[in-house]
Amino acid sequence: MIPLPPELERVENDLKERRITGSEASSIVFSVRKKLGPPWQWKSWKTARIQVLGTECETCGVGEDAILYVQHTVKNPRVQPYIDAAEKRLSKMEPEEDWRPDLRAKMYEIRDAVVPEMRDCCPICSSLSIQYRKGAANWICNSKSSGKYCRHVFTEPSKKAALTAAQKKAIKHEKYNTYRNVVVNREHDVKRKAILDWFKDFRRYLSLKDTKTLCKSCAYIEDMVDE
């Protein structure tokens, strides 16, 4: 009945598609909920309310002359209880196998698979930090080592095998994707299921299936009893 806000729908989809971890999703959800406020303050709530609000109180039978409310029979689900339950499940699971050594080995493989190009460098210190000066028609080394600049001036640079900026960027990107692939598929990411369970219950809450029409007095009494 009430659509899930786009900000939260993106989080749910990213979580289902394993693009983010449960921890990342929980942080975003907390932030978005704080920003949006409770559902009954949303514009979409007012539209949905008109469609489900009855003409009399379902408890005492008072009619349209009374102030009528759409009363939920279930509470707006908080995120924290789902995370707490997930932490309890985690404590009962077998300790997670350390996945970092294997990931580290994959990082080295990614780096070593790229063949460095032959690049211009300083003939004295082999630094790549060199600059061609058109006016003087020569090169100068801008490398700083041990607190001193090389400042060697030369006309022909030497060559050495080194990664280009594009290669370094590609390596970094592949390493990041490899890392993400590991962390989003961890069996011990219990928060992932916790947040997905919360989304399921929150969607149910927004469906307004668990609501009834009550007058102000009866709604107040129910709120007090449910506390």
- Give the domain ranges of the chain: 6-95+188-226, 101-180
Q: Is the pLDDT of residue 65 over 90?
A: no
pLDDT at 146 over 80: no
Q: pTM of the prediction?
A: 0.79
pLDDT at 227: 57
CA distances to 42, 61, 69, 168 from 217, rounded to whole Å, are: 24, 12, 10, 68
Stretch 21-36: mean pLDDT, rounded?
96
pLDDT above 90: residue 132 = yes
Backbone angles phi, psi at 127, to 5 degrees: -75, 145
Six token digits for residue 90: 């985690």
117, 163 contact by CB (below 8 A): yes
pLDDT attached to residue 9: 97
Q: What is the mean pLDDT of residues 149-163?
A: 96
